[in-house]
Amino acid sequence: MESHGLEQSGSNQTDQADEVKAKEQGEASTACHASFAHKDPTDYFTQLLGKDSYYPLSFQETLDKSVNASIARFTGGLSPSGLSAAYTDWAAHLVTAPGKQIQLFEKALKKAIRLANYAGFCAPGVNPEAASPCPCIDPLPQDKRFSGEAWQKWPYNLFYQSFLLNQQWWYNATTGVRGVTPQHENVVEFATRQILDLFSPSNYLLTNPELLEQTQKEGGQNLQRGMQNFLDDLQRMLNDQKPAGTEGFQVGKNLGITPGKVVYRNRLIELIQYDAVTEKVHPEPIFIVPAWIMKYYILDLSPGNSLVKYLTEQGFTVFMVSWKNPNHDDRDLGMDDYRTLGIMNALAHIDKITGGQPVHGVGYCLGGTLLSIAAAAMARDGDERFKSLSLFAAQTDFTEAGELMLFINESQVTFLEDMMWEQGYLDTKQMAGAFQLLRSNDLIWSRMVHDYLMGKRAKMNDLMAWNSDATRMPYQMHSQYLRQLFLNNALAEGRYIVDSRPIAVSDIRVPIFAVGTERDHVAPWRSVYKLHLLADTDVTFLLTSGGHNAGIVSEPGHPRRRYRIATRKHADRYQDPDTWFAEHETQDGSWWPELADWLKERSGDLIEPSFNMEIKPICDAPGTYVLQD
């Protein structure tokens, strides 16, 4: 990957480098726009991913990209050719698999007989004194659509039983076909499941007994409220407004209100400093790198569930990156820009404030992956500024990155690149659509039933409000991220290039505290656990209950929280994740105290606060970048 060579010297040199870079990019951007103004697409230049030079797009290439970008508006960013290739692969192999066809026919016949027998026992007036028959099939543990008592009565029990049997048959039909690539099999199974979920009896008034009961009880008022909710959501969508209820949550007023100061700013980040609230402090500060896909304040939500506030109460000075929300002008910012501007420049400024104290690095999600890249490059180059690393729901190996991999193949990435090429970034709505598909039952259909048919609004909370406050991602950075990490797994395989040389996670020798969450659809915990195979140091792995976000926001006193934790010393043998899970019992409560204790054990004795008073803050937290739409 191309390095832009920003130095880690004082802020004046850093700012000058930023200005020179911004000027160069501004001139390049002006030239590009001028070429289009003269209707000459061959003069438009874009950077080849993984290359060090620029090349002109031909008219034919420009035309192809424009067509794909236009199609993407109607498909939500999903590649039609990728989906059709998957179904073609599956269908072609199924046609030439008579044994599989016979098996599917036998399964269909058995399911039909079971359903017919069940229907015979359940029919009104038949065997009134007989015990209720056992269902033909039970829903999966996470499927709560048919758990209500009303679903066990005729005819609704037949509705949901036939639906689940049909869903199970299609799962058998789309999996286990010999010769189909694993990627295509996963795509076909996932897409078919999404189509079937559309026809779930829980989604419709006449086939959902709970909806019918509610409608009868309220005389249809629930449907009236649901229509009002639908029209309100439609208006908000058309006007590009945030969801209903978010008005009660505002950054700087009741979100992200831990006292702090913006002490550094460049074109990509603001660096916020939060002083410890204790009389004496640990000499090593904490440096948090959140994901740039969302706003930083998930780690500083409300005062009662702010990780930043909790750490300052434990005697730590905390620095946190607040990412800018990029726009079209930032289209050419790449992964190395995020490393240099977001981490290296921030570390240089923290050095000046603290007098060169080593730092506890903390990275969350994409921020954790970027922090791993920066730490590996620093370790390679003999830079010892990190005292420890803590990685929250962050992946370093992407071979088993969960259902997100359904959207990551050559066809899909090319399609996304063409879409981003036209607009200069990946829009928040386009990202949200992919994440919602991963949990369509919870995030799409259940919400539609609850809001539009039940006529009820889920009460907004701080985490939901934060979740609606997404950011864009620059074209260049996101393309490089998808190709180098997801497609090529370059970081795990020692082929990720920083400053013209490859880096290796195994070069990191400081202790690591890694956190996975049990129900993570973005960074599955077994994927996070793969760090054990890469790191050549002590790794403390903690698995907490909850999902990608709620599992991390797990303050002391939060009900029903639990976790497992164990440390693998550098010389210990590897233990696979399932064995690890079975051998370590759960502990009740928040995992934050475990993190605080771990950091304290690796910090120096408490001292009086001592900072460089010559460095003046720019403004109060939460700063300005977090407020950008």
Query: How do residues 549-558 score in pLDDT, each as one tens digit?
Result: 999 999 999 9
Whether 288 and 299 have beta carbons less than 8 Å apart is answered as: yes
DSSP, residue by residue, 152-173? GSTTHHHHHHHHHHHHHHHHHH
What pLDDT is attached to residue 371? 98
Residues 111 and 209 in one domain: yes
Clarify whether residues 28 and 117 are in a common domain.
no
Examine the domain organization and report whether 67 and 98 are in the same domain. no
pLDDT at 618: 96
User: Does 132 fall in a domain?
Assistant: yes
Within-domain flag for 27? yes
Residue 444 lies in a domain: no
- If asked whether residues 52 and 26 sit together in one domain, one would say yes
First to last CA, the chain: 30
Q: Is pLDDT at 489 greater than 50 in this prediction? A: yes
Query: What are the distances in angstroms from CA 401 to CA 371, 529, 605?
Result: 18, 11, 40
Distance CA 142, CA 446 (A): 13
Q: Is 505 helix (H, G, I), strand (E, B) or coil?
A: helix
* Predicted confidence (pLDDT) at residue 27 exceeds the cutoff of 70: no
Q: Give the model's pLDDT for residue 21.
A: 43
| Domain finish residue from 181, 214, 247 | 214
Residue 254 lies in a domain: no
Instruction: Indicate if the pLDDT at residue 560 is higher than 80.
Output: yes
- Least confident window among 110-124, 218-232, 278-292, 588-602: 110-124
Residue in 384, 385, 350 with CA at minimum distance from that of residue 612: 350
- Which stretch of 61-70, 157-166, 415-424, 437-446 has the lowest confidence by average pLDDT? 437-446
| Mean pLDDT, residues 532-543 taken together | 97
Q: Is the pLDDT of residue 9 over 50?
A: no
d(CA 448, CA 409): 31
Q: What are phi and psi of 361, to 5 degrees?
A: -85, 135
Whether 305 and 255 have beta carbons less than 8 Å apart is answered as no
Q: How confident is the model at residue 36 (pLDDT cuts 50, 70, 90)?
A: very low
Lowest mean pLDDT among 1-5, 106-110, 334-338, 409-413: 1-5
Average pLDDT over residues 69-82: 72
- E-strand ranges in 275-338 read 286-289, 318-323
pLDDT at 328 over 70: yes
* pLDDT for the residue 406: 75
Q: Is residue 201 part of a domain?
A: yes
Residue 443's pLDDT band (boundaries 50, 70, 90)?
Answer: low
Tell me which of 402 and 388 has the higher pLDDT. 388
pLDDT band at 409 (very low <50, low <70, confident <90, very high): confident
Asked whether the predicted pLDDT for residue 54 surpasses 80, the reply is: no
* pLDDT computed for residue 610 by the predictor: 85
Residues 335-364: pLDDT tens digits?
999 999 999 999 999 999 999 999 999 999
What secondary structure letter does DSSP report for 175? S
Work out the average pLDDT over 191-204.
Answer: 92
The pLDDT score that the predictor gives to residue 229 is: 94
Q: What is the mean pLDDT of the chain?
A: 86
Indicate the angle between helix axes 98-122 and 156-174, nearest 10 degrees: 170
Of 355, 386, 308, give the one whose Cα is nearest residue 596.
308
**Cβ burial 526-541 (10 Å sphere, 16+ → b, else e):** bbbbbbbebbebbbbb
Least confident of 37-51, 143-157, 217-231, 410-424: 37-51
Q: Are residues 204 and 142 in the same domain?
A: yes
Question: Which of 173, 190, 214 finishes a domain?
Answer: 214
With respect to residue 590, please indicate whether it lies within any of the assigned structural domains: no
Which of the listed ranges 27-31, 103-107, 607-611 does the model predict with the highest average pLDDT? 103-107
Looking at the structure, do residues 108 and 198 belong to the same domain, yes or no?
yes
Does 102 or 66 have the greater pLDDT score? Answer: 102
The tokens describing 418, both together, are: 């063409």
pLDDT for 93 beyond 70: yes
Please say if the pLDDT value at position 385 is more than 80: yes
Report helix, strand or coil for 66.
helix
Q: What letter does residue 607 receive in the DSSP assignment?
A: B
H or E stretch at 363: strand 359-364
Provide mean pLDDT across the span 531-537. Answer: 96
Q: Which pLDDT does position 131 carry in this prediction?
A: 55
Is residue 12's pLDDT more than 70? no
Q: pLDDT at position 434, please? A: 56
The type of residue at 282 is H
User: Which of 74, 97, 113 is the last residue before a domain boundary?
Assistant: 74
Q: How far is CA 428 from its chain centroid?
A: 12
CA dist., res. 502 & res. 377, Å (int):
8
- Residues 122, 134, 365, 619: which is the catalytic one? 365
Percentage of residues in the chain with pLDDT exceeding 90? 63
Q: pLDDT higher for 27 or 445?
A: 445
Helix (H) or strand (E) holding 567: strand 562-568
Tell me the two tokens of residue 353. Answer: 């404030």
pLDDT at residue 37 above 50?
no
Query: 31: pLDDT confidence band, cut at 50, 70 and 90?
Result: very low
Question: In whole angstroms, what is the distance from residue 391 CA to residue 369 CA?
Answer: 8
Token representation of residue 227: 């229509």
pLDDT band at residue 53 under the 50/70/90 scheme: very low
**Which residues span the domain enclosing 55?**
11-74
Residue 59 sits in the same domain as residue 119? no
pTM of the model: 0.84
Are residue 120 and residue 205 in the same domain, yes or no? yes
Q: Is residue 48 scored above 60 in pLDDT?
A: no
583 contacts: CB under 8 Å, gap ≥ 6: 575
Q: Are 310 and 392 a contacting pair, CB within 8 Å?
A: no
- The closest alpha carbon to 344, from 383, 318, 310, belongs to 383
Query: Are 59 and 41 a contacting pair, CB within 8 Å?
Result: yes
**87 and 206 fall within a common domain:** yes
In whole angstroms, give the CA distance from residue 1 to residue 3.
Answer: 6
Q: Across 35-183, where does the E strand assignment appear?
A: 45-47, 54-56
- CA 372, 378, 379, 384 torsion-angle sign: negative
Higher pLDDT, 486 or 63: 486
User: What's residue 162's pLDDT?
Assistant: 96
Cα distance between residue 32 and residue 24, in whole Å: 12
> Looking only at Cα atoms, what is the longest distance across the chain?
87
User: How many whole angstroms separate alpha carbon 99 and alpha carbon 476?
Assistant: 47
- Assign 132 a pLDDT band (cuts: 50, 70, 90): low
Helix (H, G, I), strand (E, B) or coil at 221: helix
Alpha helix stretches (DSSP H) within 330-486 = 335-339, 345-354, 366-380, 410-423, 428-438, 440, 446-448, 462-467, 475-480
Domain annotation covers residue 300: no
Size (the chain), residues: 629
Same domain, 25 and 53: yes
* Preceding omega of 155 cis (within 30 degrees of 0): yes
Q: Are residues 105 and 51 in the same domain?
A: no
Residue 64 has a pLDDT of 76
**Are 333 and 476 spatial neighbours (Cβ–Cβ below 8 Å)?**
yes
**Span of 83-87, 268-272, 336-340 with lowest mean pLDDT:** 83-87
- In the chain, the number of structural domains is 2
SS3 334: coil
Q: Residue 513 pLDDT > 90, yes or no?
A: yes
Q: Is residue 526 part of a domain?
A: no
Is it the case that residue 158 has pLDDT exceeding 60? yes
Instruction: Indicate the range of 74-88, 194-208, 282-296, 480-494 predicted with least confidence.
Output: 74-88
pLDDT of res. 61: 74
Residue 68: exposed, middle, or buried by beta-carbon count in 10 A (0-12, 13-18, 19+)?
Answer: buried
Sheet holding 286-289, edge to edge: 587-588, 562-568, 539-544, 512-517, 386-392, 359-364, 286-289, 318-323, 269-274, 261-265, 619-620
Structure-block tokens of residue 20: 């020179």
Reply yes or no on whether 136 is catalytic. no
pLDDT value for 441: 57
User: Residue 438 has what pLDDT?
Assistant: 54
Phi-psi region of 289 (alpha: psi -120 to 50; beta: other; left: phi over 0): beta
Q: At CB < 8 A and 24+ separation, what contacts does 41-50 make? A: 46/332, 46/421, 47/2, 47/332, 47/334, 47/476, 49/479, 49/480, 49/483, 49/484, 50/1, 50/480, 50/483, 50/484, 50/497
**Residues 65 and 97 reside in one and the same domain:** no
